[in-house]
């Protein structure tokens, strides 16, 4: 089973930047797509970004496109989410996850995952 440890969250002013990291272990990292979700308490977890196992294909939701970038370092078993031009609406707990099967698509539906890490809190002040 995959283990996921998110980090890099914090408090930042609107317009600022943060880079989130997610270290994954338990499976051969380079064989799996990775992605990020976010959740406000009381709301459903929502998909934010994904990157294919080849690193050549990324997908960013429209609400953060142009501000957020996803990348991965297979040597470090880590996926990143670079967040720029942050707004208070980006205040959430951010979670990463790993595709359920190797060499396959990343499921954008959070209900498809049985395991989650602890997440990392991002708070953007106005």
Q: Tens of pLDDT along 61-74?
A: 999 999 999 999 99
What is residue 74's three-state secondary structure? coil
CA distance 18 to 33: 22
Confidence band for 78, pLDDT divided at 50, 70 and 90: very high
The pLDDT score that the predictor gives to residue 14 is: 98
Note the residue count of the chain.
126
Cβ contact 101:48 at 8 Å: no
d(CA 10, CA 31): 30
Beta strand ranges found along the chain (DSSP E): 3-7, 10-13, 18-25, 34-39, 46-51, 58-60, 68-73, 78-83, 92-98, 120-125
1 — pLDDT class (breaks 50, 70, 90): confident
- pLDDT value at position 55? 66
């Amino acid at each position: 089973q995959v283990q996921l440890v998110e980090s890099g969250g914090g408090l930042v002013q609107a317009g600022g930047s943060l880079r989130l990291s997610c270290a994954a272990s338990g499976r051969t990292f380079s064989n799996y797509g990775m992605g990020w979700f976010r959740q406000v308490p009381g709301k459903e977890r929502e998909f934010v970004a994904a990157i294919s196992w080849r690193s050549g294909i990324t997908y960013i939701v429209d609400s953060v496109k142009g501000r957020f970038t996803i990348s991965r370092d297979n040597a470090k078993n880590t996926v990143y989410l670079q967040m720029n031009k942050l707004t208070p609406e980006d205040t959430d707990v951010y979670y990463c996850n790993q595709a359920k099967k190797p060499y396959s698509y990343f499921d954008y539906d959070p209900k498809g995952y049985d395991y989650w890490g602890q997440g990392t809190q991002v708070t953007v002040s106005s």
